[in-house]
């Protein structure tokens, strides 16, 4: 065993031992259940996502540690209940990875990442006892945009998909036209339905362009916040109150900030 591998094993053992101590001696840790940890776990994942978007490697390392703590915490609770332990979780993951990568651990051919994704979905469907649908593995609680992307990605795995990007772009335009029609009719319920179709088709087009729409939108969110805050600062520097300004006045500042960022 090389030095780095030995250090990894030692670190895992240390973490598992610390968690055992916490469950025995810390009033807060002893009180926790899987249900009480759930919301904190979700929050930790979002904090990691923020660190990744910021490209802050130190924060990524710290947030991964927080998530690892939650993994170990759930495993300890599972062990106490006699259901599973850390080894069960890790070994189960290892077996799943081996089964789902027959092009690495078996004799299946997969030349591209697309081949791998198609094989992955087929194997997942075959290995899930009682699962009747490709889409049963999409969590109900996923945010809507990520959920739409996963739905589209999963049906792509069984070839229920468009053949070329232009067809998808045409579908986007078609959905926008249908939304505009309902807008003219002023039917609020149908407008909402059609806008949902517009968003779904735009997300699908992003997938065809190999763009993650969640990441793309978050970058735009951050860009807007940065520009708006710079505009606020520029307005304050000129001793003006943004709440008293008209849109055309703010546009002058906004356009200047956009020009400065080019």
Q: Nearest Cα to 131, choosing from 152, 154, 147, 113?
A: 154
Question: Tell me, what's the pLDDT at 128?
Answer: 61
State if pTM tops 0.85: no
Q: Nearest Cα to 89, choosing from 7, 26, 12?
A: 12
Q: Could you tell me if 146 and 215 are in contact, meaning their C-beta atoms sit under 8 angstroms apart? A: no
How big is the chain, counted in residues? 262
φ, ψ of residue 112 in degrees (nearest 5): -125, 165
Residue position matching structure tokens 């805050």: 229
Model confidence over 90-146: pLDDT tens digits?
999 999 999 989 999 988 888 888 788 777 777 776 766 556 788 988 899 889 999
Helix %, strand %, coil % for the chain, to 5?
Answer: 80, 0, 20
Gap between the terminal Cα atoms of the chain:
52
Confidence of residue 151 (pLDDT cuts 50, 70, 90): very high
Q: Could you tell me if 121 and 154 are in contact, meaning their C-beta atoms sit under 8 angstroms apart? A: yes
């Amino acid at each position: 065993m090389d030095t780095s591998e030995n250090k990894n094993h030692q670190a895992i053992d240390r973490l598992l031992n610390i968690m055992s101590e916490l469950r025995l001696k810390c009033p807060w840790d002893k009180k926790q259940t899987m249900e009480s940890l759930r919301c904190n776990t979700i929050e930790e994942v979002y904090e990691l996502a923020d660190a990744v978007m910021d490209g802050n490697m130190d924060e990524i390392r710290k947030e991964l540690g927080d998530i690892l703590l939650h993994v170990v915490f759930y495993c300890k609770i599972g062990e106490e209940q006699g259901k599973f332990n850390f080894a069960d979780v890790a070994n189960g993951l290892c077996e799943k990875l081996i089964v789902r990568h027959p092009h690495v651990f078996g004799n299946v051919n997969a030349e591209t990442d697309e081949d791998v994704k198609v094989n992955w979905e087929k194997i997942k469907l075959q290995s899930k006892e009682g699962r009747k649908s490709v889409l049963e593995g999409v969590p109900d609680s996923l945010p809507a945009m990520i959920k739409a992307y996963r739905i589209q990605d999963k049906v792509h795995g069984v070839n229920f998909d468009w053949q070329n990007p232009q067809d998808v772009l045409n579908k986007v335009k078609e959905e926008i036209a249908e939304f505009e029609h309902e807008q003219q009719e002023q039917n609020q319920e149908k407008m909402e339905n059609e806008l949902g179709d517009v968003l779904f088709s735009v997300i699908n087009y992003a997938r065809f362009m190999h763009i993650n729409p969640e990441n793309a939108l978050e970058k735009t969110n951050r860009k807007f916040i940065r520009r708006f805050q710079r505009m606020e600062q520029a307005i304050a520097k000129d001793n003006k109150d943004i709440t008293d300004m008209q849109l055309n006045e703010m546009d002058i500042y906004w356009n200047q900030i956009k020009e400065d960022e080019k």
